[in-house]
Structure 1
Amino acid sequence: MNIPEYLSDFDVSNAGLTVWLFKKSGGAGGAAPTYNGHWIATNDDLNTALKEAIIEARSSIKEVHDYGLLAQNNESSALLIDTDETHANLIVNQSANALPQKKVKKESHITNTYFFVVRLTDGENVLHAVRRTDSSWRTKRRKEVIDIVFRENALALDQSPSFSLSKHVDFFIAADKIIIPHKANFESVLHYRQAHAEEFNVLQAETDFSQIFSSLDVLTDFVGNNKIQLRRMCSIRQKGHYKDPAFMSRLKQQHLTYGLTLTFNAAGQIVPTPETCRDIITALLDHRLASAFSENIYDVPNATEIS
């Protein structure tokens, strides 16, 4: 699909601009993360540079695809998700009011900033451009380096703290949508990985899921906290093939034909082992597919059904 109009038509050049610096904490156990934001004064030259970077980042998006747990994008595409599926409203609401008490007044408000937001306003329209900060914002990193500048053909000590703002945009928040050029940073900033972990816990508690296995212990250990495996388990729950007796019957009958190594007990349950967990996940995702043209068998990262 094309770039949504509320992003492509937004007048970045003439918009009002405020930069917000956010620190992030919490989020354990499925709870929403805590964001602590301060806005900072910026001069005209920096505002112009930020707008130019945002326009460039927007123009690099040539196509948009729906966000999926296993969906991947490239340097010229982005993913799309509704804001109400995320914690984005916490950022939007906090950055809505540049109150005097929320203005940066000391260096401690800046150091250890986790991400920054460029908030653009054009009449009633608002656009947020979000980017994770680099190591120049970390207290630990700053203690390990000597800041220098090139001045008058020589290196000199830079007595004032310096920070870097990336020209890239990890994701845009526009209207009720999020447009995501950088999936990993989006998930990190909005704590999406924790949501995956919680959904995996729910999946394990489902009788329809647990009853197809002799035990879940080995599979749970295999998935662990690995973000890729957590995404896959969440996608398994969304697809729900394990609830379909016909699917499970065909899986038992044909897994060897498709090169999958699975073990079943006398009751017809899958017996997970460390060596077979990867194939179990591939099977339940329905990602082992055969081509009717070449007759080759493939693993397909994000199988999309064609109606």
Structure 2
Amino acid sequence: MPLPESFQNFDIENSSVQIWLFKKWSQPDGLLRFSGRWIDTDDDLDQALKQAIAFKRQSILEVSDYTLLAAANDGIALRIDALATHAGVVAAEAANPLPARKIRSLDDVQNTKFYVIKLTSGDNVLYAVRKTDATWQSRRVSGFLSVIYSDDRLGLNENPGFNISRDIDFFIIEDDVVITNKPAFESVLSYKEAHVADFNLLQADDEFSSLFSDLGPLIDFIGVNKLHLRRACAIHQKGHYRDAAFMTRLRQRHAQCGLQLVFDDQGRIVATLESCSDIMRALLDHRLSSLFSENNYDVPDATVVA
């Protein structure tokens, strides 16, 4: 699919630039909070940032819908509805550059988790988001002396520097989030926490838990592993386990497809740490058989062909 029109047509060259630095933490109620502050930039940096953003947009050749297992590779971006993320919180924080929200000290800069390059063109706003590197962390700064090279020698730099990348992890514009770095997107907007919450819902689903003689080994296997949590959420989303015909065929044909599964006398899956990978492949419908070679294959994201 093409880029969203609002993103494709955004006038980067003639837009104004503002940088917002964000910190985040969890509140006692478990909700995530972002705290953003803005900082002045000079014309040279503004131009360099606009050029980098334009280059990044131009490098996107194809856009696919975000799924839990989809990958954002070179030239391929993912698109997700902003309402399904915390993107609206970021945009709301950066909506109004009040004087009280301006960066005033080094403490306001250090330990920034991500920064947002806010471009404004008329009534249109584009947010380009990038996760920070180690130069923004106070622990890193306190352990090193910042030096500069000048006149063929090194000298002490009293003003520590911070890296701003020419790359962008994801864009927010209107109702769309366009993702070019999926792990960074999930980290910045705390998608792992969303996956954990969804996995808890899956465990509480009687239709799912009743498939197993004991769900404990699968819970232990998934744990807090980011990839396993994505797969568990995809199992919940796809819902093949709710299809009685699907489960009947799974019981009948799992060995034919090379899946090492064990069922008890009541037809329930007996989960072990050794079999959990195959259990997840089966419930994702990710073990496919070729009618031509008669080989079995695993796939990253099974898509039905019309």
TM above 0.5, yes or no, is yes
Check if 1:72 corresponds to 2:71: yes
Aligned equivalent of 1:17 = 17
The amino acid across from 2:202 in the alignment is: L
Corresponding position of 2:155:
156
- Give the corresponding residue for 2:8: 8
Deviation for aligned residue 1:245: 1.0
Q: Distance in 1 between matches of 2:6 and 2:197?
A: 32
Q: Given that residues 53 and 168 in structure 1 are in contact (C-alpha distance below 8 angstroms), is that contact kept between their aligned partners in structure 2?
A: yes
- Aligned length in residues: 306
**Which residue of 1 is the match for residue 263 of structure 2?**
264
Q: Which amino acid aligns with 1:106?
A: S
Give the drift of 1:304: 0.7
The 3-state SS of whatever aligns with 2:185 is: helix
Q: What are the within-5 Å matches in structure 2 for residues 96-245 of structure 1? A: 96-245=95-244
Amino acid in structure 2 at the alignment position of 1:93: A
Q: Kindly state the Cα deviation for residue 27 of structure 1 after the two structures are TM-superposed.
A: 6.4
**Does the 8 Å contact 1:289/1:300 carry over to 2?**
yes
Structure 1: segments with no counterpart, 5+ residues: none
* Secondary structure class of the residue paired with 1:101: helix
**Cα offsets for 1:1-49 (capped at 9, x unmatched):** 12222111111111011100000111687x4311111000001011011
Distance in structure 1 (CA, Å) of the matches to 2:254 and 2:27: 39
Letter in structure 1 aligned against 2:274: E
What do the CA deviations read for 1:38-96 (whole angstroms, capped 9, x no partner)? Answer: 00000101101111111111111110000000001212110000000011111001100
Relative distance call for 1:123 and 1:233 in structure 2 (3 A) is same
RMSD of Structure 2 on Structure 1 (CA): 1.1
- SS of 2:77's equivalent in the other structure is strand
Query: How far apart, CA to CA, are the structure 1 residues paired with 2:44 and 2:176?
Result: 30
Supply the distance in 1 between the matched residues of 2:295 and 2:153 (Cα, whole angstroms): 62
SS of the residue 1:118 aligns to: strand
1:257-303 deviation digits (Å, cap 9, x = unpaired): 11000011111100000100000000000000012222221001101
Cα offset, 1:145, TM superposition: 1.4
Q: C-alpha distance in 1, partners of 2:16/2:28?
A: 36
Superposed CA offset, 1:188-243 (max 9, x none): 11011100000000000001000000011110000000010000000001111111
Conservation of the 8 A alpha-carbon contact between 1:233 and 1:281: yes
CA distance in structure 2 between the partners assigned to 1:272 and 1:166 by the alignment: 45
Distance (whole Å) between structure 1 residues aligned to residue 286 and residue 245 of structure 2: 17
How many Å apart are 1:143 and its aligned residue?
A: 1.2
Instruction: List per-residue Cα deviations over 1:243-265 (Å, max 9, x = no partner).
Output: 11111111011100110000111
Per-residue Cα deviation, 1:111-162 (whole angstroms, up to 9, x for no partner): 0000000111111111000000110000001111111111112222111111
> Partner of 2:247: helix, strand, or coil?
helix
Equivalent-residue separation in structure 2 for 1:175 and 1:36 (angstroms): 21
Aligned counterpart, 1:293: 292
Which amino acid in the other structure matches residue 221 of structure 2? F
Query: Percent identity over the alignment?
Result: 48
Residues 193 and 289 of structure 1, relative CA distance in 2, 3 Å threshold: same
Structure 2: distance between partners of 1:92 and 1:229: 30
